[in-house]
Structure 1
Amino acid sequence: MKHLHTLLAASALSLLSAGHALAEKVSITDITGREVEVETPVKRVILGEGRQVFFTAVLETEDPFARVVGWRDDLKEADPDSYAAYVAKFPKAAEIPSFGGFKEGTFDIEQAVSLKPDVMILNLEAKAATDEAGYEEKLAKVGIPIVYVDFREDPFKNTPKSMQIMGQLYGKEARAAEFNAFFTAQLAKVTDVIAAHPEVARPLTFVERAGGYSEDCCMSFGNANFGEMVELAGGSNMATPFIPGTFGTVNAEQIIASNPDVVIVTGGSWEAYVPGGDWVGVAPGADTEVARKKLAALMQRPGFTGVKAVSTGDVHAIWHQFYNNPYSFVAVQQIAKWLHPDLFADLDPEATFKELHSRFLPVDYRPGYWVSLK
């Protein structure tokens, strides 16, 4: 019996040592270049934005919420269709403690501390607000490191890096590498073709950001984000000369003067933000006929009167959330298909998105992410 007790004690000690060996403090370089000490693999994570589930789902497909102890409350309102799909499959997601945004100043640092996270994941665009409020130092004092990732400011440079960072944090390096290989190969299906045809004319393309969300005309993108997507897809982004940064506004008179060949409106189901608004509700499972009618109505505004794209029907709407998640390459494929239908006759962005879902995501693919007037 004594020998058995000795064996059990030795086994317990061995298991305990193995557990400690699995978790180790490592230095991770986040997307800003900061060196951050984190004990990995992390077990308790705060997501600084609810839409970050778009990448935790890739890494931990069996349960994207397994390590999430807190998250920002934006997904339910910004993308209710995706939120509903995830909560239907993972009901506990609806019970995860949530908090407000950093930019809005509604983040509760005491709540964050009470959740005892190993790490807080923040998007790069939150850094200015966190710097101003001194959150990095305040959280560091209570042992909570912040790691920044980016899928919005410079998505085609930073998405693979950000997925690699998350792979390190989660101990899912191989899974992150598998996704990054898919991302790169699918993006190349567009960029390689465009590079091989330098003689092809680049249609002048105006991207309206969240068209119909407000009565103002018209929010758009400079040479980054959707503006860069247009360029990668073989177009010329109309707003680049007028918007020095990523986001900005172009007035209606400029749209008429520029006379774009193609118009693309980003949209989503924004009933929570703008009830009964004119926004185009493209999203997973969207009613595309309703979306098409709303898109056509937006083209009746003064800024689009007589514009070439409207005359030819070369007007499209696409899911706004492509602007801030790892699936941006799908949007590039679809934009390329709109801009150069002959060059990309064999490209099937919907098949690409279906494959992404089947290989990397726990929720089923539902069409409705884009619609055209043609």
Structure 2
Amino acid sequence: MFTRKLVKTGGFTGLVCAIIIALSVTGCSADKNAPEPDVVGEQSGQSEAGGQAEQSAAGEQYGQSNPPAETEPTTWTFTDTSGKQITLGIPIEKAVVINRNTAEAITLLGAGDRIIATGDNTVKNNPYLGLDSLPEVGETGQVNLETILSLRPQVVFAYTNRPDERLEEKLEPAGIKVIRMNNFLPDQVDEEWKMLGKLFAQEERAAQFLEWKHQIESIPAERIQSIDEGDKKSVMALSAGFLNSNGGYRVFPSESLGGEPGVGEGYATILAGGKDAADLQWNPAEASTTIMVDEEYVLTRNPDVITLHGTWLGGYEAVDAEPLEEAFSNIVSISSIDQLNAGKNREVYFFHTNFIGSDKRYIGVLQLAKWLYPDRFEDVDPGAYAKEYFEQWLGVPYQGIWYYSFKENH
């Protein structure tokens, strides 16, 4: 059965103030390569969530209810993830965030009240952050610069590869710093958390969270060490939306150019003890985090396991697995999945992007490892960590469908 999330009375701390701005925000068309990580070919299906919950007692365990001590402003010179050196007065008090992963990190740090506008479909894909009353400045491919300028933030947080350098060209002459970080790539995220802790004067909380995260990451790392390479299952990570829309294949590579870790969805295969069925390398300079391949390539590679990824299925507001089952039935009917070892054995698993290709990757990796090697992880409950993340770190009820096994339900 799919994981049915229990809703618990809880709350969201660091309530954001509603900001009513009398100006017209330019609408944005969907940019299928821009949202993080790649959602090419995905379908819109999630409704936006409104409202904010009250502060929960669970959140107090992690100090979320305690406001940071008064900190004297200071100047800090640092290098962001893009390699750009920035000198900035800290702590930051007013930020526009057009990177939904960074918006979640700032909120978890207890500094969500310092976010004055969002973008990158943050409200749609991360509705539990309680940022729905803030101005929306557009997707990463079509940012409304006039709105940002009118809000006069100290900084704008963006991804390293989007929007392009016009963001700096338009905003920095007005005294608005652009900080580029990703907060979803596995080889960068820890340093980015430390950077955010310093920028918002929440270094202790950032350190506490990283310690908790590292404890979870150590579970699969320790248990997969003894698996011989020849015994590892081969896995191909695919875009669920692209496969569902036309039976086509877009692969999330586990490796970047130069042999560095690839994007989260693909690299999760390695972290979970699998081996990548694809032999592709991702170029971090590209906006898309997938590489399109043809049917013959997939049939030749013939993976033991397929993981499907996207944001248009499942998520925080999902209560029913029927849309997942319908999508899978459609995929089987229009693609060659059933000709693969993975399809024949129904070793096909869905992950919402937030839980394996994004900031909660470590929980999704643990679940994938359990599906790949159930005997090694029989005593592990990834859902317990997911519940802890939402209720005790973010201080909101844990709910939704974040991952789903087509093997266990067929």
How would you bin the TM-score normalised by the shorter chain? Answer: 0.7 to 0.9
Q: Aligned equivalents of 2:356 and 2:405: distance in 1?
A: 19
1:182-261 equivalence runs, <5 A: 182-198=212-228, 201-211=231-241, 212=243, 214-223=245-254, 224-225=262-263, 226-239=265-278, 241-245=279-283, 246-261=289-304
Q: Aligned equivalents of 1:316 and 1:243: distance in 2?
A: 23
Give the residue type in structure 2 aligned to 1:300: S
Q: The residue matched to 1:120 in structure 2 has which SS?
A: strand
Match of 1:178 in 2: 208
1:78-89 equivalence runs, <5 A: 79=125, 82-83=126-127, 85-86=128-129
Change beyond 3 A, Cα 1:373–1:325 = closer
Q: Comparing 47-56 with 354-363, which one deviates more in the overlay?
A: 47-56
Q: Aligned equivalents of 1:217 and 1:35: distance in 2?
A: 41
Q: 2:176 aligned with 1:144, yes or no?
A: yes
Give the root-mean-square deviation of aligned CA atoms. Answer: 2.3
Q: Comparing 114-123 with 297-306, which one deviates more in the overlay?
A: 297-306
Q: Aligned equivalents of 1:109 and 1:173: distance in 2?
A: 31
Q: Aligned equivalents of 1:262 and 1:325: distance in 2?
A: 20
Match of 1:334 in 2: 367
Larger radius of gyration: 1
Q: 2:311 aligns with which of 268, 278, 286?
A: 268
Q: Displacement of 1:312 after TM fit?
A: 1.2
Q: Aligned equivalents of 1:67 and 1:177: distance in 2?
A: 20
Q: 1:97 aligns with which of 135, 154, 159?
A: 135
How many residue pairs get matched?
324
Give the residue type in structure 2 aligned to 1:160: D
Q: Displacement of 1:353 after TM fit?
A: 0.9
Match of 2:151 in 1: 115
Q: Comparing 162-171 with 26-35, which one deviates more in the overlay?
A: 26-35
Q: 2:57 aligned with 1:23, yes or no?
A: no
Q: 1:35 aligns with which of 78, 81, 85?
A: 85
Deviation digits for residues 228-269 of structure 1 (CA, Å, limit 9, x no counterpart) = 110111111122x14554520122222222221111111333
Q: 2:359 aligned with 1:321, yes or no?
A: no
Give the residue type in structure 1 aligned to 2:136: S
Q: Aligned equivalents of 2:174 and 2:198: distance in 1?
A: 22
Where does the alignment leave 5 or more consecutive residues of structure 2 unmatched?
1-68, 255-261, 284-288
Where does the alignment leave 5 or more consecutive residues of structure 1 unmatched?
1-17, 270-280
More helix by share: 1
Q: Aligned equivalents of 2:230 and 2:247: distance in 1?
A: 34
Q: Displacement of 1:347 after TM fit?
A: 1.9
Change beyond 3 A, Cα 1:247–1:115 = same
CA contact (8 A) 2:248 2:295 kept: yes
- More relative contact order in 1 or in 2 (CA 8 Å, sep 6+)? 2
CA contact (8 A) 2:295 2:336 kept: yes
Change beyond 3 A, Cα 1:200–1:194 = farther
Deviation digits for residues 172-222 of structure 1 (CA, Å, limit 9, x no counterpart) = 001111111122221111112212434661111111113345325111111
Fraction of identical pairs, as percent:
23
Q: Aligned equivalents of 1:199 and 1:160: distance in 2?
A: 28
Could you tell me the TM-score, scaled by structure 2's length?
0.73
Give the residue type in structure 1 aligned to 2:271: L
Q: Aligned equivalents of 1:328 and 1:365: distance in 2?
A: 17
Q: The residue matched to 1:156 in structure 2 has which SS?
A: coil
Q: The residue matched to 2:231 in structure 1 has which SS?
A: coil
Q: Aligned equivalents of 2:115 and 2:378: distance in 1?
A: 42
Q: Aligned equivalents of 2:160 and 2:120: distance in 1?
A: 18
Deviation digits for residues 259-285 of structure 1 (CA, Å, limit 9, x no counterpart) = 21111111333xxxxxxxxxxx22124
